[in-house]
């Protein structure tokens, strides 16, 4: 044994003394794509629905993973900033629901228009705004996507009309269903069913929880909203249906929010911590995509960890900007009421205070 160790030592010693003529690089060949089975959608007034198998490319998988991880980390940073009282007012977080916003964007075109209610941070990001602009809007800074004047519930981007701060403002939904069906509008109505309306479970609130059937005369789909591939394929199907001239369609995305309704809601008075943990351990959208990619040789654990590190740095840099950027000056309070009107005066809290509005 000693002779063997001595021989190995001499070999290694000799190797270290000679300049290397060749360098061995450990490499791994990843698959370009993989085919996965996905959950069949429940259908209403449809003879056929989205496919039950789909192909995921390595490129798309890495993109989806980064986007979902960015939304997750952004929301967790918003939680931290809120608890530090840097973010004020209402704040609705969407961690747990990342497959909805990322999967939806993967199934439509950038030129399509998207309207949402609150819990809109993820959609704001997938529509093309940066984390810096979103966090700066949450902290009320000039570099925010609405110049720091909109906050959590009023974020906007090109072809994105996000945030509606009035609970129940979407109450005209049945009238909208009717008009869309009469005019055969190319509109996808989406219900993000995260199982709770504020603090009330859907079972306690609705005699029928088949929300995908609520359109009645409008066809509907019930989709696994925790699986980004299910959401993507269902969205592609729904978009193709609308573009073909058949009129509107309704999608119910069954998902789950990890936080409470808003930051003022601890989220555990009407559901148990065990329930939340069970969803995290069995149905987390990021975990599901990660497992698929690793098990199908689309990515390695180490590669995905590198993405995690990069995302954390991006979020930290954005948070630094969102806390250091100045607040908008008071004289700009009335700016941007209209997009292309000449300047005019806006009365303040009393008739003696005047602000100028500039488009």
Beta-bridge partner residues of 241: none
Q: What is the mean pLDDT of residues 152-179?
A: 83
Classified by CATH at the fold level, domain 44-331 comes out as Rossmann fold (3.40.50)
Does 4 have pLDDT greater than 80?
Answer: no
Are 257 and 93 contacting, i.e. CB atoms less than 8 angstroms apart?
Answer: yes
Q: What value, to the nearest 5°, has the Cα angle with vertex 284 and ends 85 and 53?
A: 140
> With 50 as the cut, is the pLDDT of residue 10 above it?
no
Q: Give the contacts of 279 (CB within 8 A, at least 6 positions apart).
A: 96, 256, 258
Using an 8 Å Cβ cutoff, are 200 and 194 in contact?
Answer: no
Confidence of residue 179 (pLDDT cuts 50, 70, 90): very high
**Coil, helix or strand for 359?**
coil
Sequence ranges of the domains in the chain:
44-331
- Over residues 109-157, the pLDDT tens digits come to 999 999 998 899 999 999 999 999 999 999 999 999 999 999 998 999 9
Percent of the chain with pLDDT over 70: 91
Q: What residue ranges in 53-169 does DSSP mark as E strands? A: 53-57, 114-115, 155-157, 160-162
pLDDT of residue 169: 62
Going by the DSSP 8-state scheme, the letter that residue 249 receives in this structure is: E
Q: Given a cut of 90, is residue 196 above it in pLDDT?
A: yes
Structure tokens at 132: 């810096």
pTM above 0.85, yes or no: yes
CB 325 within 8 A of CB 141: yes
Q: Which of 253, 105, 258 is nearest to 191 (CA)?
A: 253
Q: Which of 154, 147, 155, 86 is nearest to 126 (CA)?
A: 155
SS3 164: coil
Take residue 227 and report the two structure tokens written for it: 């699986």
The residue among 24 and 223 whose pLDDT is bigger is: 223
């Amino acid at each position: 044994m000693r002779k063997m160790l001595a021989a190995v030592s001499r070999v290694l010693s000799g190797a270290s003394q000679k300049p290397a003529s060749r360098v061995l690089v450990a490499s791994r060949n990843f698959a370009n794509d993989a085919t996965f089975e996905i959950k069949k959608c429940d259908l209403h007034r449809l003879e056929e629905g989205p496919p039950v198998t789909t192909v995921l490319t390595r490129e798309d998988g890495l993109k989806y993973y980064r986007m979902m991880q960015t939304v997750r980390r952004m929301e967790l940073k918003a939680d931290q900033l809120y608890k530090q009282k840097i973010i004020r007012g209402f704040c609705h977080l969407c961690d747990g629901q990342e497959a909805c916003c990322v999967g939806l964007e993967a199934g439509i075109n950038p030129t399509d228009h998207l309207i949402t209610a609150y819990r809109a941070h993820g959609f704001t990001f997938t529509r093309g705004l940066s984390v810096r602009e979103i966090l700066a809007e949450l902290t009320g800074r000039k570099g925010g996507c609405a110049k720091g004047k909109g906050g959590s519930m009023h974020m906007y981007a090109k072809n994105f009309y996000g945030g509606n701060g009035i609970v129940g403002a979407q109450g005209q939904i049945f009238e909208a269903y009717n008009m869309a069906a009469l005019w055969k509008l190319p509109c996808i109505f989406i219900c993000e069913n995260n199982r709770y309306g504020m603090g009330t479970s859907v079972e306690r609130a609705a005699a029928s929880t088949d929300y995908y059937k609520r359109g009645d005369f409008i066809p509907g789909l019930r989709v696994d909203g925790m699986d980004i591939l299910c959401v993507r394929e269902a969205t592609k199907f729904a978009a193709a249906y609308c573009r073909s001239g058949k009129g509107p369609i309704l999608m119910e995305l069954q998902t789950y929010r990890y936080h409470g309704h808003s930051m003022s809601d601890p989220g555990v008075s009407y559901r148990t911590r065990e329930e939340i943990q069970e969803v995290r351990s069995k149905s987390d959208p990021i975990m599901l995509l990660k497992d698929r990619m690793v098990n199908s040789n689309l990515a390695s654990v180490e590669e995905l960890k590198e993405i995690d590190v990069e995302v954390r740095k991006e979020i930290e840099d954005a948070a630094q900007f969102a806390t250091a950027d100045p607040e908008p000056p008071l004289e700009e309070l009335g700016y941007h009421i209209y997009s292309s009107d000449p300047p005019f005066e806006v009365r303040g809290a009393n008739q003696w205070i005047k602000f100028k509005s500039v488009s």
